[in-house]
Amino acid sequence: MVMTTSASVPAGSGSPTDRFVEANARYGAQFADAELAGRPALHTAVVACMDARLDVTAALGLRNGDCHVIRNAGGAVTDDVIRSLTISQRALGTTAVVLVHHTACGMETLTEDFRRELELEVGQRPVWAVESFQDVDQDVRQSIERVRTSPFLPHTDDVRGFVYDVKTGLLREVAPA
Ligand SMILES: [Zn+2]
């Protein structure tokens, strides 16, 4: 394998992105997943918070090619998440949805006032909801309901929601409403 230009970046001296490019060169040098199918092998889509402490792949024991993983702030089931789930189910064969929220989520520290504050600062109110919450279990239940009631999703029987504990690495399932 030919060394890439990233090899000229001394370790630890560049930006995080430089580090990623360097890591990717090593990853590509031993890449063995060229034959993976685009359709998730486990027919499952995971919707999770973007929190940096939540390693979805490790926490769920995923292998490359197993699942779609859709992430955003809070793991909220927004219109755009429904868009991804709709494509996941209708075009790529998934039939199950797993929702992963977590303890100590940054979304618990925000309120919908965040939108008002933004408007005051920049002169424009965002069209999106902040999707902040106070009760993580209730937020998981709401997310389950949003998936289950979406008219676009053909598969809404197997939808389960969990809270990941950032102190133990363990999942706790939340019963639907
Ligand atoms: Zn979070």
DSSP of 63-106: -TTSEEEEEEGGG---HHHHHHHHHHHHHH---EEEEEEETT-G
Q: Judge whether residue 3 has pLDDT over 50.
A: no
Cα 173 to ligand 1 centre (Å): 16
Average pLDDT over residues 18-36: 97
pLDDT of 2 reads 45
Cα 22 to ligand 1 centre (Å): 28
Cα 135 to ligand 1 centre (Å): 12
Confidence of residue 177 (pLDDT cuts 50, 70, 90): confident
CATH T-level topology, domain 36-174:
Beta-carbonic Anhydrase; Chain A (3.40.1050)
Residue at token pair 């690495």:
169
Cα 109 to ligand 1 centre (Å): 10
Cα 80 to ligand 1 centre (Å): 17
Q: Judge whether residue 12 has pLDDT over 80.
A: no
Higher local confidence (pLDDT), 176 or 17? 17
Percent of all residues in the chain with a pLDDT value above 70, rounded to a whole number: 93
Quick: pLDDT tens for 135-171.
999 999 999 999 999 999 999 999 999 999 999 999 9
Average pLDDT over residues 111-138: 93
Cα 118 to ligand 1 centre (Å): 20
Cβ atoms of 141 and 159 within 8 Å: the answer is no
| Full-model pTM | 0.90
Cα 160 to ligand 1 centre (Å): 18
Cα 134 to ligand 1 centre (Å): 12
Cα 114 to ligand 1 centre (Å): 16
Confidence of residue 103 (pLDDT cuts 50, 70, 90): very high
pLDDT of 138 reads 96
Cα 53 to ligand 1 centre (Å): 9
Quick: pLDDT tens for 44-72.
999 999 999 999 999 999 999 999 999 99
Q: Judge whether residue 13 has pLDDT over 80.
A: no
Cα 164 to ligand 1 centre (Å): 10
- The vertex-136 CA angle with 133 and 138, nearest 5°, equals 85
CA distance to 55, 119, 156, per residue, from 50 (Å): 9, 24, 23
